Amino acid sequence: MATIGVTRGLGDHDLKVYNSNIHIKPFLSCCPEVQVYDVTQNQHSPDDVLVLGSDGLWDVTTDREVADAVSSFLSQFESSDPMRLVRISKETVAQIASSLTSIMYQCLL
């Protein structure tokens, strides 16, 4: 199998390209990109959300597309709805999955 599992890829410093002597480490970092955002330093409204996503999300969409989708869904739900953010996250994932399916279909054509 010529793939890198996340836990293996981040923990195996001697990992090599499948069937070769080429080390992957120069291309793979075990140091995460970290950004600190102090929520106490800013004013927030009920419509402010933080989107956490892995490369599975960011490989198929941009931060602007996600922000636009979330903003669109926010306007469709009442702010008093306790399940609003759960519904918005499901709708956003469904929209992105639909986009990915469309991209995959175009690649097959």
14, 23 Cβ separation under 8 angstroms: yes
Over its C-alpha atoms, the chain yields an Rg (Å, rounded) of 19
Q: What is the dihedral of CA 77, 80, 83, 86, to 10 degrees?
A: 60
- Give tens-digit pLDDT for 36-89: 888 889 888 878 888 887 767 777 788 888 888 888 888 888 888 888 888 888
Residue 10 pLDDT greater than 70, yes or no: no
SS3 of residue 16 by DSSP: strand
Q: Does residue 16 have a pLDDT over 70?
A: no
Q: What are phi and psi of 71, to 5 degrees?
A: -60, -40
Q: What confidence category does residue 1 fall into, taking pLDDT thresholds of 50, 70 and 90?
A: very low
Return the DSSP state at 21: S
